[in-house]
Amino acid sequence: MTNKPLRRSAQAIAVLCAAALSLTACGSSDDSGSGAKAADAGSVEAALKKGGTVTVWAWEPTLKQVVTDFQAKYPKVKVKLVNAGTGNDQYTALQNAVQAGSGAPDVAQIEYYALSQFALGKSVTDLSAYGAKDLSKAYSPGPWNSVAVNGGVYALPMDSGPMAMFFNKKVLDKYKIAVPTTWDEYLTAARALHKADPKAYITNDTGDAGFVTSLIWQAGGHPYTVDGTKVNVDFGDAGTKKFTEVWQKLISEKLLAPITSWSDQWYKGLADGTIATLSTGAWMPANFVSGVPSASGDWRAAPLPQWQAGQTASAENGGSSLAVMEAAKDKPLAYAFVKYANKDAGVQARIKGGAFPATTADLNSQAFLDTEFPYFGGQKANEIFAKSAGNVAKGWSYLPYQVYANSVFNDTVGKAYVSSTPLSDALGTWQEASVKYGKDQGFSVGG
Amino acid sequence: MAQASTQADTGAGTGADGRAGTAGAWRGRRGAPSERPAGRRHSSDRPRRSVLLTVLTALVAVYTLVPLAWLLISATKTQKSLLDSFGLWFSGDFALWDNIQQTLTYDDHIFVRWLLNTLLYVALGAGGATFLAVLGGYGLAKFDFPGRRGVFAVVIGAVAVPGAALAVPTFLMFSKMGLTNTPWAVIVPSLISPFGLYLMWVFASEAIPDELLEAARVDGSGEIRTFFRIGLPLLGPGIVTVLLFTVVATWNNYFLPLIMIKDPDWYPLTLGLNAWNAQAATAGGQPVFNLVVTGSLLTIVPLVAAFLLLQRFWQTGLAAGSVKE
């Protein structure tokens, strides 16, 4: 708490060096020698027999159990699990290590939105050589499309975040507000709730890049189109307009709680009913259980509200993959661990630990769908999540430098949340910043 | 500084413990104005009380103490009442001991490991930095050699460069040497303290009379022996000052280890607490705000203790060089 300002400036510097470093990383993407040697699934088996050490950088808490199980099954393999920071902190460290040529891990956890940046910079290995392409049907489409980029497979999906709306049933019932099924109803509910209790808000939002892009995704927008190094950024399409119309009203009428997600205030708001709904990825239940224990029984899950009544469109929010680094010492062995954790026995261990899988076999298994969540009053919430996973809108892609774009989100779009700047104008400013950065990096950018 | 020098002039002997605010008051009561030159009385014996200054001082005191009070109070709360209650008063069960115990045992006693790491970095980094600063400062103050002006310029220039600006180049260099992710990556850069060197330099030229060294040399003492037997004892207050500076800098160091160290087993406390804090913002992560708060309290306790114990030296050290004889 005490070192917050320091932390912020340190982060700013870290982002700067990440930006500077990715420049060179992207610059080397023209190299034709990708370094992928001829390998096959057999080499993976051989590597497991031979043994060795795999260093894994990840912050996902359920991996601890997976590592224990894996080492028990393959005693010759030693897995060193290191929490090198969460999200951006880790990407910066990863870029630094890649750039410096030493200190990088063999396997790294990378969120879907950030993966194409590492794939294009050739910091992570194309796993096609080890048979990863055959797994395309094993994962739900949203996560798979995020790892299968540029004609290769650059990671295996670890978890996924098909979106749902979590709502505080106690609060909505108290004010006799129906659970909204469309975003228009959501707006009406927001007005009714805040009028009934000026301290209560339909949700919290101070501007979050992941959330905004996910809702535009659900609305069928395609602000980013990517073809190799040809990129187009356009926040003027129909999907984006649907989003800004509703959200602008929520902002202008001050119907959103000015609380940043993941802060202590946020956990407090989720617990005491001042934040009434939360639209986010299906990985959220584990966080409810550990972070908001006092509100157990108050909350329920529902499908994400729709942009048009009667539809079932959804989007992904968050979620991450495990990638094998190009600098890995023993790639077949590293891949063996990734496959164990994200496709084979590791998945079950992680579901038990509260993770939400990306594997279709688990998403469709009866046991998974029938799981009752005591936290949600015994609701079989996985039915909603699994349906959402199947309904993720097709054709979405992130920028190959989304990590940077998200880092300037608050400087641009963030203004719309705290001033009279219209949301659509603010998105335009974000677009300009993204286009300019892309051009500076040597991409051919339109928009 | 001006206050300290006038006190020293009047010979009241209170300059050392530095209670500048109260010193005037009780000296006034002691009276005996006839013993002193009349002109002095006005300026130093009876400082006029200023409401504005008192209010300003009070504001600064509140500004400094409120976060500390918040930390102390919050460390006594459970995670639940931490979120549910007003921050500046006690609420719910008194959970301080429980929190401390949890902090020390959570995640296989990793906090204890971080504490030991920090102690290691401080002992070797700050200790080494002080030792080097004392050696260098003494040498520069007491020996005349060609290039001394050049060294002076470099040291003054180095004081102006913030450590954070050097972190990235240092990282790249250490990475080439294969030192990242080892304790050396934190200890070695901590060994250099340009400000400490400058302070020791100024202090040594004031505190050690050249005549004393001459006398020692005439008596046949070697340079090394002279340094340890005559120089060091005289440098005591300065050494403590530099030591405190470097200890605080190393203890609170965040950016350097953030860049250098990725293995939580080698984290200092600052990084460890940040990692616990970040845990609240991950899918499936467990928020441990109560442990972050209690951990922060435990982290500052040794620093507070060091300040209270070494306060006397610290203040004489600060005043060094402010009096021109």
Distance from CA of B196 to the nearest CA of A (A): 22
Q: Could you report the per-residue pLDDT of A187-244, keeping only the tens digit for each?
A: 999 999 999 999 999 999 999 999 999 999 999 999 999 887 899 999 999 999 999 9
Residues A168 and A263 in one domain: yes
In a domain, A29, yes or no: no
Q: Is A240 helix (H, G, I), strand (E, B) or coil?
A: helix
Give A 238-267 residues with CB within 8 A of chain B: 261-262, 264, 267
- Confirm whether A225 is domain-assigned: yes
Q: Tell me how close the Cα of B274 comes to any Cα of chain A, in angstroms.
A: 8
Closest CA to B92 of B76, B70, B75: B76
Query: B64 — contact with chain A (CB < 8 Å)?
Result: no
**Contact of B28 with B46, CB cutoff 8 Å:** yes
Cα-based angle B28, B32, B38 (whole degrees, multiple of 5) = 85
pLDDT single digits (tens) B189-200: 999 889 999 999
Could you tell me if B301 lies within 8 Å of chain A, comparing CB atoms?
no
| Beta-carbon contacts below 8 Å between A and B | 127
Predicted pLDDT of residue A19: 41
Residue A323 lies in a domain: yes
Residues from chain A that touch B184, judged by Cβ atoms under 8 A, are: none
Q: Which residue has the tokens 């005043």?
A: B319
CA distance B252 to chain A (A): 9
By the 8 A CB rule, do A244 and A424 touch?
yes
Residues of chain A with Cβ-Cβ distance to B292 below 8 Å are 1
What DSSP letter does each residue of A97-133 carry, written as one string? HHHHTSS--SEEEEEHHHHHHHHHTT-B--GGGGTGG
Look at residue A343 and tell me if it is in a domain. yes
Residue A176 in any domain: the answer is yes
| Angle, in degrees to the nearest 10, between helices A238-252 and A209-218 | 130
| Helix intervals (H) in chain B | 2-10, 20-30, 38-40, 51-74, 79-84, 96-121, 127-142, 148-160, 163-177, 184-190, 194-207, 210-218, 223-226, 232-251, 255-260, 269-278, 289-319
Whether residue A179 sits in one domain with residue A139:
no
Asked if residue A215 lies in contact with residue A182, where contact means CB atoms within 8 angstroms, the answer is no
**A225 and A294 fall within a common domain:** yes
Q: Is B181 on the interface with A (CB under 8 A)?
A: yes
Query: Of residues B82 and A146, which shows the higher confidence score?
Result: A146
Distance (Å, whole) CA B46 – CA B251: 41
**Same-domain check for residues A73 and A130:** yes
Kindly report the number of other CB atoms within 10 A of residue A151's CB atom: 8
Residue A127 CB coordination number (10 Å): 26
Q: Which positions in chain B touch A59 (Cβ < 8 Å)?
A: 278, 282, 285
CATH number of B96-319: 1.10.3720.10
pLDDT at A73: 94
The confidence band for A75, taking pLDDT boundaries of 50, 70 and 90, is very high
Report the pLDDT averaged over residues A100-109: 90
Structure tokens at A434: 């993204």
Query: For residue A366, what are its two tokens?
Result: 């009866």
B254 with A3: Cβ contact below 8 A: yes
Identify whether residues A147 and A80 lie together within a single domain: yes
What ipTM was reported for this prediction?
0.75
Higher pLDDT, A230 or B312: A230
Locate the domains of chain B by residue range.
1-47, 96-319
d(CA B54, CA A320): 56
CB contact under 8 A, A85 and B278: yes
Are both A251 and A171 inside the same structural domain? yes
Contact flag A1-B82 (C-beta cutoff 8 Å): no
Inspect the interface and report whether the beta carbons of B284 and A1 lie closer than 8 Å: no
| A169 shares a domain with A302 | yes
> What pLDDT, on a 0 to 100 scale, did the predictor assign at position A30?
35
Two tokens, residue A237: 């399409």
3-state secondary structure of A279: strand
CATH of the domain at A72: 3.40.190.10
Cβ-Cβ contacts under 8 Å, A355 against chain B: 283-284
DSSP string, A125-174: --GGGGTGGGGGGGB-HHHHHHHS-TTS---EE----BEEEEEEHHHHHH
Cβ of B171 and A96 within 8 Å?
Answer: yes
The neighbour count for residue A6, using CB atoms within 10 Å, is: 15
Using a CB–CB cutoff of 8 Å, tell me whether A24 touches chain B: no
Mutation for B interface: A287, A325, A351, most B CBs within 10 A: A287
> How many C-beta atoms surround the C-beta of residue B301 within 10 A?
10
Q: Is the pLDDT of residue A33 over 60?
A: no
Q: Any bridge partners for residue A279, and if so which?
A: A165
In this predicted structure, what is the pLDDT of residue A121?
85
d(CA B273, CA B279): 10
Percentage of chain A beyond pLDDT 90 is 76
Would you state the pLDDT for residue B318? 55
* Any domain includes A330: yes
Share of chain B above pLDDT 70, in %: 82
B285 reaches A (C-beta below 8 A) = yes
Between CA A18 and CA A95 the distance in angstroms is 6
Residues 82..121 of A with a Cβ closer than 8 Å to B: which? Answer: 82-86, 89, 93, 96-97, 99-103
Residues A184 and A222 in one domain: yes
Distance CA A72, CA A67 (A): 9
Distance CA A207, CA A318 (A): 15
Instruction: Give the other-Cβ count within 10 Å of A163's Cβ.
Output: 28
Whether A375 is covered by a domain: the verdict is no
> Is 80 exceeded by the pLDDT of residue A90?
yes
Find all residues with CB under 8 Å of B233, minimum gap 6, and list them: none
Q: Chain A residue closest to B289 (CA)?
A: A264
At A55-71, the pLDDT tens digits run 999 999 899 999 999 99
Say how many domains are in chain A. 2
Q: What is the mean pLDDT of residues B274-282?
A: 86
Stretch A414-420: mean pLDDT, rounded? 92
Residue-wise pLDDT for B43-80, tens only, equals 555 667 888 999 999 999 999 999 999 999 999 988 87
Helices (H), A325-420: 331-342, 345-352, 360-363, 366-369, 381-390, 402-407, 409-412, 414-418
Give chain A's mean pLDDT. Answer: 88
- Closest CB from B167, B282, B292 relative to A86: B282
Domain that holds residue A46: 39-160+319-363
State the best of A9, A63, A83, A113 to mutate against chain B, taking most chain B CBs within 10 Å: A83
